[in-house]
Amino acid sequence: MKQQDYDLFMVNVREMMYSDAGFDGIVSQIKSADQGPVRGVAYTAAMIIKSIKSGFEQKGKKVSPDVLKTAFMEIVADLVNIAIATGAIEEGQKKQVATEALREGANIYKQAEKIPTGPQGIIDREAA
């Protein structure tokens, strides 16, 4: 994995996650997930990865599996910390939620990769 590729990918992730609208959407997704905060963290992490990766690909840039894997782990860790800070989970649940969200999020991502995306990596609901 090239560090500069990972760094560029994560700059885009951070911009998405920590913009005002992005952060509010993330908190809402984690707290309102029908199947609980594990599902909220897993789904949110998978959609962030898919969106940023699609944006890179539309610009003709490939994202290595190593970058995706490392970024995914970091995103899940950040989302779990957000879940704790916003009261969606307790501190004592951190390790369990992170472990389960990594596993579930990987499965969600694999399914999401089958859904077409449009400009800027946005999921094309009409083509899906």
- What span, in angstroms and rounded, lies between the C-alpha atoms of 121 and 117? 5
DSSP 117: B
pTM of the model: 0.85
β-strand partners of 117:
123
Q: Do 56 and 9 meet the contact criterion of CB atoms below 8 Å apart?
A: yes
58 token code pair: 């539309």
pLDDT in tens, 48-87: 999 999 999 999 999 999 999 999 999 999 999 999 999 9
Q: What residue numbers bound the domain in which 91 lies?
A: 3-121
**Residue 126 resides in a domain:** no
**Residue 65 resides in a domain:** yes
Kindly indicate the confidence band of residue 118, based on its pLDDT and cuts at 50, 70 and 90.
Answer: low
β-strand partners of 123:
117
**Domains held by the chain: number:** 1
Taking the C-alpha atoms of 100, 106, 128 and 17 in order, what is their torsion angle to the nearest 10 degrees? 80
User: Using only C-alpha atoms, what is the Rg of the chain?
Assistant: 14
**Residue 39 resides in a domain:** yes
pLDDT recorded at residue 125:
43
**Residue 85 resides in a domain:** yes
Coil, helix or strand for 115? Answer: coil
**Residue 43 resides in a domain:** yes
Kindly indicate the confidence band of residue 105, based on its pLDDT and cuts at 50, 70 and 90.
Answer: very high
